[in-house]
Amino acid sequence: MKGRVLAWFTPMAVIGFAGFPALTLAQAAGENVLIRVTEGQESNTSDGVLVSEPVNRLASDPSVSLSRMGGRGLEPIVRGQSQERVDVLLDGIRVEGACPNRMDPPTSRLSSALAPALEVRTNNRTLRWGPIAGGQIVATTADPRFNGNTTTGQVTIGGSDNGNGRLINATAAVGSENAWLRLSGGYDKADDYEDGDGNKVRSAYENTEGRIDGAWTAENGFFIKGMISRQEEDDVKYAGAGMDAPQTDTDMYRIELGSPVADGEWSLLAWQADVDHIMDNFSLRPVGMMKMQTDSTTETRGLRFTLDQSPNSSTDWAVGADLETNDWDATLSNVTNPVPVTASLMWPGVERERVGVFAEGFRRVARNLKLGAGVRYDRVEMDATRADEVASMGMTPAMLYQSAYGTTDVKPEDNNVSGFVSGEWRLPHNQALTLTASRSVRSPSVTERYLARNTSSGSWIGNPDLDTEKHHKVELALSGSKNQWSWKPVAWVDQVDDFVRRYEETSTDVRYENIDARLLGVEVMIGWTNGTWNSSSTLAAVRGENRDDNTALAQISPVQFVQTLGWNYMGHSIEAQWQLARRQDRIDAESGLDAGTSPGYGVFNLSGSHPLMEHLTFSWALDNLFDNTWAPHVSRANTDPFNPDAVRVNEPGRTLRAALTASW
């Protein structure tokens, strides 16, 4: 495959420049419609010191659901779509997971020590990071703020009673806004927690991370920014899987440089992310008849160039190109005997190369009207380089694909054309009406096209002959504010041609097919504040339909409602939150993804933050105050021997969490 130069260029470039810094990239200001790279923005980290994973902070967003399989690896579902339909960008870079069963979704790589700001995008307002099929979660790590000093940083120590969780993380930076170097690291560990009924849930984990990043900006605006990070997850247990993950290691490298030019700026970003993952059924649970182990890896290399220009106050435009290569490999082995035997080539040496180009522009054509449009082309090539290697039972992956689907071609080539048009009308009384229509094309994932698990207990086989998904979206939003009130109702529809559906051909055999589907929904957000007190009410409803046979799509969250009431005074804050969800009766029983219908629930949470002195803050949270037993509809089916009767992986029962943060 092409593009192998990235395999050595990215780490060498990062190592060479990691100590040099970069300019805080320009933000879209005031009238600017163009969405620029969000590097360097500040974020409030006080809400991130108490959670095991930063993505947990999205639980209060009713358009987002989190699917639980264990104590870590929460899978975000945005507007009824998840996994490869939800892109995750970590400071502009894309990281792929290394587990065929998604024990390590990309959000598990978000830094707990630096608590990034999280943004959820649901439609194409820009195409620089690729088209949005289901959603996009953008994590942005703030640059350090020195405020005239030469050093800054913080240290957090905390823990929780349910599961005996403990954490410590720290970050320290030296320099100034124009040149700085930062070190950060964290460690958190927890045992199995108990649900509301007092039953243990397999959820223990240990996580260690370290990161070094830095930036430098010249007087003429030229900047360089670099980052190196390492994350190690050990002894992670999963109630929603037949295996656990004794080890997952992630190494990431990133370098960015750019400079002002003409009426804007250019930037060049290069990155590399390597993940090594081991899962087995014997290290962390009683050994059964056979000891099975899967060793898997994924390697991602990327390069992105973007040119942003604002020739006048009413016009913005951008063009760019990117190249990304991925390599996946996963082998399931029977290690019962001293000499391991290959059971399946689950990811048979899969390679993917994607080359993309985009152009977009935004213009204020009248005082109350802004228009925007963009187009993007992606060329995607995939190949299974080990498809002809024999695994157990004398079968090769190529033979499995042919037997299941009748296909012999394992080298699909996709030509994906995506685009959007948008309009924003300013209305009286401080309101704005926004209409966005888009087409987003997604190539099927490595699992959907190439998974090749074939054992005596069943098979799970991808389909190399799958067509690309074509999402046609329309979204209408009305935002406004008056006096102490704010509101934003949203209605949207997503018509999908060739939606990739997973289904169970038999109770033990999983397959993939293309269908036509439709998703539609509404969201309503209403807020109020008087400076000291604040309240917000948010509601989201999604309906997913398989239009081929008029049945429901899998993993669609029920109607969700979140009510919060907060108080802030002289740095002290207390918030009460009530999360409600209706029962969900519409499921896809053939998918193997829905663990049956689900009842509704209501969960009440309390949290607060209090300055104890100038540089010391105490944060606390009391989750699930009334100790209810509950689980989101989208969580994994429970295969936990501690609690074999549970339908889903239950959330923790009443949990008290607390942390002290010292900053300077």
Q: Quick one: tokens of 134?
A: 């289901």
Q: Which of 250, 239, 237 is nearest to 277 (CA)?
A: 250
How far apart CA 212 and CA 227 sit, in angstroms, is: 6
Q: In whole angstroms, what is the distance from residue 137 CA to residue 445 CA? A: 18
- Amino acid occupying residue 413: E
Nearest in space to 66 (alpha carbons), one of 651, 656, 523, 655: 651
What does the DSSP assignment read for 435-448?
A: EEEEEEEE---HHH
How many angstroms separate the CA atoms of 79 and 102, rounded?
19
Whether 288 and 644 have beta carbons less than 8 Å apart is answered as: no
End-to-end Cα distance, the chain: 49
Task: Kindly give the parts of the chain with pLDDT less than 50.
Answer: 2-46
Domain encompassing residue 507: 5-663
| Amino acid 50: pLDDT | 66
Residue 430: DSSP 8-state: T
Q: What is the CATH number of the domain that holds 384?
A: 2.40.170.20
Distance CA 353, CA 213 (A): 28
Q: What share of the chain is helix, strand, coil (3-state, %, to 5)?
A: 5, 55, 35
Backbone φ, ψ for residue 399 (5° rounding): -65, -35
Residue whose C-alpha is closest to residue 140's, from 254, 235, 59: 254
Q: What angle do CA 492, 493, 495 make, to 5 degrees?
A: 160
- Residue 59 exposed, middle or buried by CB count within 10 Å (0-12, 13-18, 19+): buried
Closest C-alpha to 332, from 452, 508, 502, 510: 452
Judge if pTM exceeds 0.95: no
* Pairwise CA distance, residues 318 & 360, whole Å: 5
For the chain, how big is the Rg over CA atoms in Å? 24
Distance, CA of 321 to CA of 211 (rounded, Å): 28
Amino acid at 194: E
Rounded to 10 degrees, what is the CA torsion of 79, 83, 84, 87? 60
The token duo for 505 is 């051909």
pLDDT at 59: 83
pLDDT value for 241 = 92
Separation of alpha carbons 314 and 71, rounded Å: 49
What does each C-alpha distance from 346 to 246, 449, 450, 589 come to in angstroms?
19, 11, 8, 25
| Cβ–Cβ < 8 Å for 240, 69 | yes
Cα gap 656→619, rounded to integer Å: 11
Q: Looking at the 3D structure of the chain, how many domains does it have?
A: 1
